[in-house]
């Protein structure tokens, strides 16, 4: 049912929770779905001590039990390769808590299974044999919850609420959580990018308890996903203002932004309220810009629904709108509270919209992570023939895991650059590989060309320019052409004159005065700045991208 890529971490997940939360039943079912072993620390303890836990408690006391429990759990954390459920009080013991923190530092997942209190107390009463609930079990449960809940919540890397779900439904939620990928984006305002099926379920958790009103900004083309987000937001207790904007670049205008500002003012949005941007890159760009400018900045979360938005626009804190003079010339750097890249949304993508996102994926491979290029090469045919229906139904074989890996690696490349350089003063400019010509193409095509396609041609142009200026050899230029075309991306363009392109490249954000400034490679994974290259090389490189063979 998934790849479970953290098999190097032992175990793949640790489940904690109150007595009666269903840790054993739900954890065992989740392990079965993942085709992994399951272990319950209480059962392992009973095997070691040769008696039931209530009996051991009675004979030796709680302190002796916690020592045994710590030794058993510590051993399991180092050797067990499956799903592990812990006894209710285990994380409260200092040594065990410290062992779990070390496990998390190594990349492990500690998942807090949150059950409805009445349901949990009922299950705990039925099960019996719980020394910590001796006496008035309900009263003892409530007392323990007051002490344990803050500790569990602070320790856990993830939380799964099971209220209203069958054990099978809760297990599916747990599986989605286990298979999630997280990329941490550092800097002054750090946040996480969550990648996986069901990632949108984290909306309430990321928004927090402070907002009362949430503006859900989306396009009509993602109606199914906006319906789901709206339901999740309302279930979390927020008042939702549904704001629909035009699709793609038509939604990134001052007129659209102004209409949203008027809505926020009319509906009483305050500095403590929030924005959720849901859709492709244009929608998340606009939502971020609105959030950055309303009352000088309010909380916002991005829920990208296209591959391009997941790997590029939603992460990094760039927000903006277009003007008649160019793309993204008005905007700000403003970081989201989180990014939730829900893989389920990719199932509604047409093939061409998915494929254009591969342009930005390949870019990240060229500038930093060669493993991305290897994955693209190995799976080019599958990626090029992407079918949303097959992807959504799970009939695409390993494609979901491949896509998740590509997104995680690409976002990690972006996180590396933006964590060190939020405002694009140096290192972050390398993310613009292929964008100098790419943005010019988009403008001259009146944004009828998709961004990822324009960047693909832009990368070929940058490679041709780098070869003409002696930075790379012909073989690497040809590799650009062969890889990108194998993915279904364009490698040539004939939609405008060199004079028009040159004028727009002089307006590029990397330009300095009258000096052209490009990002080129001097090898895979080694981007460099190229300032004011020879005019004949700039023009010759353009001539080469006018023909598919570059000749």
Tens-digit pLDDT profile for residues 386-412: 999 999 887 766 898 999 999 999 999
d(CA 426, CA 46): 59
Write down the residue that tokens 């995680």 correspond to.
408
67 marked among binding-site residues: no
Which whole number is the average pLDDT over 85-95? 94
Beta-sheet pairing, 326-333 with 299-304:
unpaired
| Annotated binding residue 248 | yes
Among 183-187, 417-421, 540-544, top mean pLDDT goes to 540-544
Which burial class, exposed, middle or buried, applies to 246 when counting CB atoms under 10 A from its CB (0-12, 13-18, 19+)? middle
273 marked as part of a ligand binding site: no
Domain 433-546 falls in which CATH fold? Dehydroquinate synthase-like, alpha domain (1.20.1090)
Residues 6 or more apart whose Cβ sits within 8 Å of residue 510: 429, 432, 436, 517, 518, 519
Model confidence band, residue 162 (pLDDT cutoffs 50, 70, 90):
confident
69 is in an annotated binding site: no
> Is there a binding annotation on residue 283?
yes
Establish whether 446 is an annotated binding residue. Answer: no
346 marked ligand binding residue: yes
C-beta separation of 206 from 267 below 8 A: no
pLDDT band at 4 (very low <50, low <70, confident <90, very high): very low
Is 21 annotated among the ligand-binding residues? yes
Residue 25 in marked binding region: yes
> Known binder of ligand: residue 17?
no
Dihedral sign computed on CA atoms, order 370, 375, 377, 378: positive
Q: What is the mean pLDDT of residues 508-518?
A: 73
The predicted model gives 213-240 an average pLDDT of 95
DSSP-assigned states of every residue in 222-278? GHHHHHHHHHHHHHTT-EEEEEEE-SGGGGSSHHHHHHHHHHHHHTT--TT-EEEEE
pLDDT band at 128 (very low <50, low <70, confident <90, very high): low
Q: Does 42 carry a binding-site annotation?
A: yes
* pLDDT the model gives residue 125: 66
At residue 26, φ and ψ (nearest 5 deg) are -70, -40
Q: Is 169 one of the annotated binding-site residues? A: no
Cα 339 to Cα 408: distance, rounded to the nearest angstrom = 12
> Mind listing the pLDDT tens digit for each residue in 338-395?
999 999 999 999 999 999 999 999 999 999 999 999 999 999 999 999 999 999 887 7
**Residue 368 counted as an annotated binding residue:** no
By CB neighbour count within 10 A (0-12 exposed, 13-18 middle, 19+ buried), where does 22 fall? buried
Question: Is 250 labelled as part of a ligand binding site?
Answer: yes
On whether 22 is known to bind a ligand per the annotation, the reply is yes
Q: Is 496 annotated as a binding residue?
A: no
Choosing among 2.60.40.420, 3.40.980.10, 3.40.50.1970, 3.40.50.12160, the CATH entry for 182-407 is: 3.40.50.1970
Tell me what percent of the residues of the chain surpass a pLDDT of 90.
Answer: 71
What pLDDT, in 10s, does the model give residues 23-41?
Answer: 999 999 999 999 999 999 9
One DSSP character per residue, 326-373 reads EEEEEEEE---SEEEEEGGGGGG--HHHHHHHHHHHHHHHHHT-HHHH
282 annotated to a ligand binding site: yes
Prior bond to 11 cis, omega within 30?
A: yes
Q: What single DSSP character describes residue 427?
A: G
Residue whose structure tokens are 């990397």: 510
How confident is the prediction for the chain on average, in pLDDT?
90
DSSP 358-412: HHHHHHHHHHT-HHHHHHHHHTHHHHHT--HHHHHHTTTTTHHHHHHHHHHHHHH
Instruction: Please list the residues that pair with 527 across neighbouring strands.
Output: 521
Per-domain residue ranges of the chain: 11-179, 182-407, 433-546
Contact 2, 196 (CB under 8 A): no
Residue 352 assigned ligand-binding role: no
Q: Is 168 marked as binding a ligand?
A: no
384 is in an annotated binding site: no
Q: Convert 79-113 to b/e letters by CB count within 10 Å (16 or more is b).
A: ebbbbbbbbbbbbbbeebeebbeebbeeebbbbbb
Q: Is 433-546 the same fold as 182-407? A: no
Q: Give, in words, the CATH class of 11-179.
A: alpha beta
Measured between alpha carbons, how far is 433 from 333 in angstroms, rounded to an integer?
19
Binning pLDDT at 50, 70 and 90, where does residue 127 land? low
Q: Is the pLDDT score of 512 beyond 60?
A: no
Structure tokens at 35: 């085709």
249 a known binding residue? yes
How many whole angstroms separate alpha carbon 230 and alpha carbon 97? 37
Does the annotation flag 219 for ligand binding? no
Helices and strands (DSSP H and E) totals, the chain: 22, 16
347 is in an annotated binding site: yes
The count of other CB atoms within 10 Å of the CB of residue 445 is: 15
- % of the chain residues with pLDDT over 70: 93
């Amino acid at each position: 049912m998934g790849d479970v890529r953290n098999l190097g971490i032992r175990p793949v997940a640790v489940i904690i929770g109150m007595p009666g939360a269903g840790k054993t039943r739900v954890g065992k079912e989740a392990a079965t779905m993942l085709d992994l072993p399951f272990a319950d620390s209480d059962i392992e303890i009973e095997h070691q001590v040769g008696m039931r836990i209530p009996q051991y408690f009675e004979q030796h006391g709680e302190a002796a039990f916690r020592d045994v429990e710590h030794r058993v759990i510590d051993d399991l954390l180092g050797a067990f390769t499956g799903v592990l459920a812990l006894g209710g009080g285990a994380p409260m013991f200092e040594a065990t808590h410290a062992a779990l923190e070390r496990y998390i530092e190594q990349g492990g997942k500690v998942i807090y299974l949150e059950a409805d209190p009445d349901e949990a107390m009922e299950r705990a009463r039925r099960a019996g044999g719980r020394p910590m609930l001796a006496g008035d079990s309900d009263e003892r449960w409530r007392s323990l919850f007051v002490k344990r809940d803050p500790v569990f919540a602070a320790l856990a890397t993830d939380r799964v609420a099971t209220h209203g779900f069958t054990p099978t439904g809760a297990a599916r939620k747990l599986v989605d959580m286990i298979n999630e990928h997280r990329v941490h984006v550092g800097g002054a305002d750090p946040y996480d990018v969550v990648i996986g099926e069901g990632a949108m379920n984290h909306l309430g958790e990321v928004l927090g308890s402070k907002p009362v009103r949430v503006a859900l900004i989306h396009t009509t083309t993602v109606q199914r996903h906006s319906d789901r987000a709206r339901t999740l937001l309302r279930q979390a207790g927020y008042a939702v203002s549904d704001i629909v904007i035009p699709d793609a670049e038509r939604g990134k205008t001052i007129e659209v932004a102004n209409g949203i500002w008027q809505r926020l003012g009319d509906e009483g949005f305050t500095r403590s309220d929030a924005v959720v941007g849901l859709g492709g890159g244009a929608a998340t760009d606009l939502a971020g810009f609105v959030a950055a400018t309303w009352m000088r900045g309010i909380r916002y979360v991005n829920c990208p629904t296209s591959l391009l938005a997941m790997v590029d626009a939603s992460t990094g804190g760039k927000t903006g709108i277009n003007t008649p003079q160019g793309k993204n010339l008005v905007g700000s750097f403003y970081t989201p509270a989180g990014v939730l890249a829900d893989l389920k949304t990719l199932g509604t993508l047409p093939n061409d919209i998915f494929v254009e996102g591969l342009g930005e994926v390949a870019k990240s491979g060229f500038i930093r992570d060669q493993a991305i290029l290897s994955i693209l090469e190995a799976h080019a045919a599958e990626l090029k023939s992407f079918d949303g229906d097959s992807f959504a139904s799970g009939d695409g074989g390993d494609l979901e895991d491949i896509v998740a890996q590509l997104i995680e690696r690409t976002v990690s490349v972006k996180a590396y650059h933006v964590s060190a350089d939020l405002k694009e003063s140096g290192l972050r400019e390398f993310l613009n590989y292929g964008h100098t010509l790419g943005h010019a193409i988009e403008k001259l095509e009146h944004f009828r060309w998709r961004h990822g396609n324009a960047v693909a041609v832009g990368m070929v142009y940058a490679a041709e320019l780098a070869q003409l200026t002696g930075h790379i050899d012909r073989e690497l230029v040809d590799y650009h052409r062969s890889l990108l075309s194998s993915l279904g991306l364009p490698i040539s363009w004939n939609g405008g004159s060199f004079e028009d392109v040159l004028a727009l490249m002089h307006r590029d954000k990397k330009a300095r005065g009258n000096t052209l400034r490009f990002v080129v490679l001097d090898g895979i994974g080694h981007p460099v700045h190229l300032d004011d290259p020879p005019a004949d090389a700039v023009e010759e490189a353009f001539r080469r991208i006018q023909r598919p063979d570059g000749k």
